[in-house]
């Protein structure tokens, strides 16, 4: 049986083609490949950087689908199915809105693939696919190493993606992770995580854990195991970890360069509205947390979500000033987005504040980075505009140089300097390329 794995792209700019220069290895497809029995002939296509060769033989197509890539996924699936090829979809979007995806797939996979994928493959071989399979969210990759051979030649950023844990104990209102993992945090065995690092050549690792700081003791155990490996690593961590001096030191000692950290908002009222518990401790507009991060030399990617009921055009501009003042290595000025099956989505439904019929990801008029709901103190256009303005200002060349010249973080060591120049300009370019993108390749239809 010939199995084709596909990572769909989001879409394309209004009048040109699009290649995602910041593309990273699709870990879920490497895991899926590893879980696939050895007698299956498999290939992976990444729609972010190569055309899908529909004409080549395929018996089963398996796609990973997020809300942002749903529209494009349906286009690809429809084309394969028109040619008589069976399609299965899995990932966060099919798990949350199966009824929508079912119209474009022969079979859906709900939840994590570790349990259930082998059964699906067996059924596919016999020509007896069931309409739906369910895998329980749980420990990542028990006994399985990611198949990295499928990434070769695809031009991914030079960083190896892997996972130590899944899920998060917090319940932020906008986050899709809480419902998916039901607030549970699942750990991969440390020796298997170490084996995964040793099984590949790169010395820079991105642990794509939803929140690597969700279980502090487990994080410390990981750091202790990483120290002898002499790698550098980055991940995603909640800000409350700065209150744990031992964890901070262990992270620094084990080669951590920094994290993507959800600051979300610089006003306490909005942090409360977001139910962002890890940011709610002593609220001195993050002065203490940022000081501690800087003392450890962390290169922080600050993530903001903008458009809370307390937010105004001026508060978004103040967020930009805050990000520049603190010279973050990178900052994402994301508009608060209603992802399906989140408490934020349900709140907007109750309040009748959705735009684009509540399905922005399918709407032909919706463009990447547009507000998809009616904010309380701005028009949707104002929110879209001021967030774009913040991205533009933050990414101006003088701002890039100002951020780089921080002796405590980006200029602290040669390794950090090179990490800054290797990644920040690419992310910066993508911000502009992605802005206003049409979803799918035939977005106007
Ligand atoms: C790492 C990561 C990133 C990386 C991307 C890395 C890469 N390879 O490109 C970075 C930081 C760049 C990123 C960017 C963004 N991300 Co992101 N990201 C993640 C994160 C934390 C982990 C994903 C991961 O690799 N997990 C490890 C793999 C092994 O697990 P998995 O993907 O869940 O796959 C398992 C199952 O879902 C299932 N499965 C998945 N696909 C399939 C397919 C089949 C056929 C089957 C059978 C099973 C199956 O089996 C897998 C193994 O168990 C997730 C959170 C999450 N838990 O999903 C958010 C997440 C996917 N991201 C999200 C978002 C919103 C974004 C952004 C849009 C943010 C922004 N505003 O810019 C961007 C753009 C995304 C894009 N499509 O271009 C949201 C998506 C919400 C949604 N409803 O779709 C998530 C869920 C985070 C959240 N808190 O809500 N992201
Ligand atoms: S801390 Fe991060 S991963 Fe955890 S629920 Fe909040 S946004 Fe999601």
pLDDT tens sequence across 102-139: 999 999 999 999 999 999 999 999 999 999 999 989 99
Residue-wise pLDDT for 41-70, tens only, equals 999 999 999 999 999 999 999 999 999 999
Is 442 a residue whose pLDDT tops 90?
Answer: no
Confidence of residue 283 (pLDDT cuts 50, 70, 90): confident
Considering every ligand atom shown, identify the ligand nearest to the alpha carbon of residue 165 and give its number: 1
CA of 237 from ligand 2 middle (Å) equals 9
CA of 177 from ligand 2 middle (Å) equals 7
Considering every ligand atom shown, identify the ligand nearest to the alpha carbon of residue 172 and give its number: 2
% of the chain at pLDDT higher than 90 = 96
CA of 283 from ligand 1 middle (Å) equals 30
Nearest atom, ligand 1, residue 176 CA? 90
**Which residues line ligand 1 at a C-beta cut-off of 6 Å?**
10, 24-28, 31-32, 62, 64, 66-69, 88, 90-93, 109, 112-114, 117, 161, 163, 175-177, 208, 210, 334, 339
May I ask the CATH architecture of the domain 2-135? 3-Layer(aba) Sandwich (3.40)
Residues 385, 369: Cα–Cα separation, whole Å: 10
CATH hierarchy code of domain 157-434? 3.80.30.20
Residue-wise pLDDT for 374-403, tens only, equals 999 999 999 999 999 999 999 999 999 999
Higher pLDDT, 442 or 78: 78
Nearest atom, ligand 1, residue 30 CA? 29
Tokens of 46: 């990444």
Mean pLDDT over the full length of the chain: 97
Is 88 a residue whose pLDDT tops 90?
Answer: yes
For 187-210, what is the mean pLDDT?
98
Residue spans in the chain of domains classed CATH 3.40.50.280: 2-135
Considering every ligand atom shown, identify the ligand nearest to the alpha carbon of residue 334 and give its number: 1
Residue spans in the chain of domains classed CATH 3.80.30.20: 157-434
Read off the pTM. 0.97
CA distances in angstroms from 100 to 74, 110, 120, 222, listed in the order given? 10, 13, 21, 39
Confidence of residue 14 (pLDDT cuts 50, 70, 90): confident
């Amino acid at each position: 049986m010939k199995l084709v794995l596909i990572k769909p792209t989001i879409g394309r700019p209004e009048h040109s083609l699009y290649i995602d220069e910041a593309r990273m290895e699709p870990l879920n497809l490497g895991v899926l490949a590893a879980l696939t029995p050895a007698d299956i002939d498999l290939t992976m296509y990444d729609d972010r950087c190569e055309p899908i060769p529909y004409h080549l033989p395929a018996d089963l197509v398996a796609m990973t689908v997020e809300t942002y890539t749903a529209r494009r996924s349906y286009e690809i699936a429809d084309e394969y199915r028109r040619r008589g090829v069976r399609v299965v979809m899995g990932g966060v979007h099919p798990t949350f809105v199966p009824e929508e995806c079912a119209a474009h797939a022969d079979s859906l996979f709900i939840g994590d693939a570790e349990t259930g994928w082998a059964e699906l493959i067996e059924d596919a071989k016999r020509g007896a696919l069931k309409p739906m399979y369910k895998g329980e969210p749980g420990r990542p990759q028990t006994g399985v190493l990611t198949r990295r051979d499928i990434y070769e030649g695809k031009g991914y950023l030079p960083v190896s993606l892997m996972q130590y844990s899944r899920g998060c104990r917090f319940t932020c209102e906008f986050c899709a992770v809480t419902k998916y993992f039901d607030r549970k945090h699942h750990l991969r065995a440390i020796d298997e995580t170490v084996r995964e690092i040793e099984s590949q050549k790169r010395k820079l690792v991105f642990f794509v854990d939803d929140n690597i700081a969700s279980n502090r003791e487990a994080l410390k155990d990981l750091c202790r195991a990483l120290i002898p490996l002499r790698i550098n690593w980055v991940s995603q961590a909640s800000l409350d970890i700065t209150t744990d001096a031992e964890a901070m030191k262990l992270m620094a000692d084990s080669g951590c360069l920094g994290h993507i950290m959800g600051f979300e908002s610089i006003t306490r009222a909005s942090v409360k509205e977001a139910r962002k518990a890890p940011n709610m401790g002593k609220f001195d507009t993050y002065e203490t947390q940022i000081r501690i991060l800087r003392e450890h030399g962390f290169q922080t990617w600050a993530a903001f979500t903008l458009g809370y009921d307390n937010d105004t055009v001026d508060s978004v501009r103040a967020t930009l000033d805050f990000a520049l003042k603190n010279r973050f290595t990178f900052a994402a000025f994301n508009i608060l987005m209603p992802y399906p099956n989140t408490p934020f989505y349900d709140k907007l439904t109750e309040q009748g504040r959705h735009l684009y019929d509540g399905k922005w990801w399918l709407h032909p008029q919706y463009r990447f980075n547009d507000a998809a709901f009616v904010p309380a103190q701005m028009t949707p256009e104002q929110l879209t505009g001021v967030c774009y303005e913040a991205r533009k200002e933050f990414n101006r060349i003088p701002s890039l140089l100002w951020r780089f010249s921080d002796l405590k973080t980006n200029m602290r060591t040669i390794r950090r300097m090179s990490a800054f120049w290797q990644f920040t300009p690419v992310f910066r370019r993508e911000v502009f390329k992605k802005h206003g993108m049409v979803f799918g390749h035939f977005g106007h239809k």
